[in-house]
Amino acid sequence: MFRQTTVFLAACLAVTPREPQDQPKPAVPIEAIGGIVDAFRTHRLVGLSEGPHGNIEGHRFRLSLIRDPRISAIVNDIVVEFGSARYQELMDRFVRGDTVDDEALRHVWEDTTIVTSGWERPIYKEFFHAVRAVNATLPPDRQLRVLLGDPPIKWETIHTRDELRAATRARGNYEEDVIRREVLAKNRRALLIFGDGHFQGRGEGLGLSGVFEREGVEVWAISSGGGMDRIDLQRVQPDVANWPIPSLATLRGTTLGMKEYGFFYEIPPVREDFWRAMKLEGQFDALLWLGPTRTFADIPASLCADERYMAMRLSRMAIGNGQASADRFKQQCAARVPR
């Protein structure tokens, strides 16, 4: 009897057509900001990856996002990678409209644990000013708070690479602790703005998505395409060329979502078997489409002519990345200073 039942089931499976839902469907673009607002209705944490650091298209979208009144109506906090928590009290005063000296404020993005000049691109300073401007239109109880996710570091005490390593060892844990303490413990909602890699690790208990998933809090993560400045999505789904810019598309069960993770991002050097089997939908819930190309901001030429700044940046780059890296930056900057 058992053998007959087995043969019958095998025959049924052989002739039963594959269910349509087993086939990936084309991703469908929706209005981007509205899609993010909807995500906040069911999630306390929504992660918006930056894409390639310094890209202007992502920056413009983030400005339009925080300026939309639908966001301030549902979001309490914005947690960012590009600011040192040593200056959290200063940032709190700045975004609520208090008078803050520009020379003091620049330490927020200059004095992070990152030794390179990346956060000195004007787009990051502009973001903080945009939050301040939005808050000026809001009642105090609805104003957006900016939480600085880079751990506090006292650069005046750092003189060697070992000292720098010791000071930055808990970098990832710090951003997680800030979210637990200032967002989740206070029953608030937060937009998380970090590099794409910070949201990768779901299923492994790593990164912001993986850590909070393990603790029972789901991060609704949006890929802005860490490598999409060099990837043609039309190869995967041709109608992407006709999508409005910007657009948001959910990934679960779609052509884009089922595409290999390695098509979009570099495979990490550890657990290669895990990552090569991974689909994009396994790490991100949605994809933000900002067009097929990226342009990039650069640091102001005025910084290259600023002796105080150059001494600080070259010293830190030499400690963190070596003297050759500092020398290259010095040469690049010299070429931008008018003679």
CB-based burial label for 287 (10 Å; 0-12, 13-18, 19+): buried
H-helix segments, the chain:
2-15, 32-42, 56-67, 69-72, 88-95, 102-105, 107-110, 122-135, 161-168, 171-179, 207-214, 261-264, 272-276, 301-304, 307-321, 323-334
Q: Which residue has the higher pLDDT, 63 or 204?
A: 63
pLDDT at 170: 62
Contacts of residue 5, defined as CB under 8 A and 6 or more positions apart, other chains included, come to none
CATH level 2 (architecture), domain 21-298: 3-Layer(aba) Sandwich (3.40)
pLDDT band at 172 (very low <50, low <70, confident <90, very high): low
Measure the CA–CA gap between 26 and 39, rounded to whole angstroms.
20
Question: Across residues 19-43, what is the average pLDDT?
Answer: 89
pLDDT at 140: 95
| Amino acid in position 91 | M
pLDDT at 157: 94
Measure the CA–CA gap between 84 and 108, rounded to whole angstroms.
5
pLDDT band at 70 (very low <50, low <70, confident <90, very high): very high
Which of 161-170, 230-239, 325-334 is modeled with the greatest confidence? 325-334
Question: Considering only CA atoms, which of 236, 220, 254 is closest in space to residue 292?
Answer: 236
User: Residue 316 corresponds to which tokens in the numbers above?
Assistant: 């830190």
pLDDT at 183: 98
Measure the CA–CA gap between 298 and 309, rounded to whole angstroms.
15
pLDDT at 134: 98
pLDDT at 336: 86
pLDDT band at 226 (very low <50, low <70, confident <90, very high): low
Q: Is the pLDDT of residue 34 over 70?
A: yes
Q: Is the pLDDT of residue 305 over 60?
A: yes
Measure the CA–CA gap between 59 and 137, rounded to whole angstroms.
21
User: Residue 76 corresponds to which tokens in the numbers above?
Assistant: 């309490």
Least confident range from 135-139, 274-278, 310-314: namely: 274-278
Domain with CATH 3.40.50.11550 in the chain: 21-298
% of the chain beyond a pLDDT of 90: 77
Tens of pLDDT along 285-302?
A: 999 999 888 999 999 999
Question: Across residues 158-178, what is the average pLDDT?
Answer: 88
pLDDT at 227: 53
User: Residue 135 corresponds to which tokens in the numbers above?
Assistant: 């808050």
pLDDT at 185: 98
pLDDT band at 214 (very low <50, low <70, confident <90, very high): very high
CB-based burial label for 178 (10 Å; 0-12, 13-18, 19+): buried
Least confident range from 97-101, 198-202, 241-245, 270-274: namely: 270-274
Q: Is the pLDDT of residue 160 over 60?
A: yes
pLDDT band at 272 (very low <50, low <70, confident <90, very high): confident
The number of CA neighbours under 13 Å toward the Cβ of 268 is 14
Measure the CA–CA gap between 96 and 94, rounded to whole angstroms.
6
pLDDT at 231: 64
Q: Is the pLDDT of residue 203 over 50?
A: yes
pLDDT at 248: 97
To which residue do tokens 């004007």 refer? 122
pLDDT at 30: 98
Q: Are strands 219-223 and 286-289 parallel, antiparallel or unpaired?
A: parallel
Question: Across residues 93-108, what is the average pLDDT?
Answer: 96
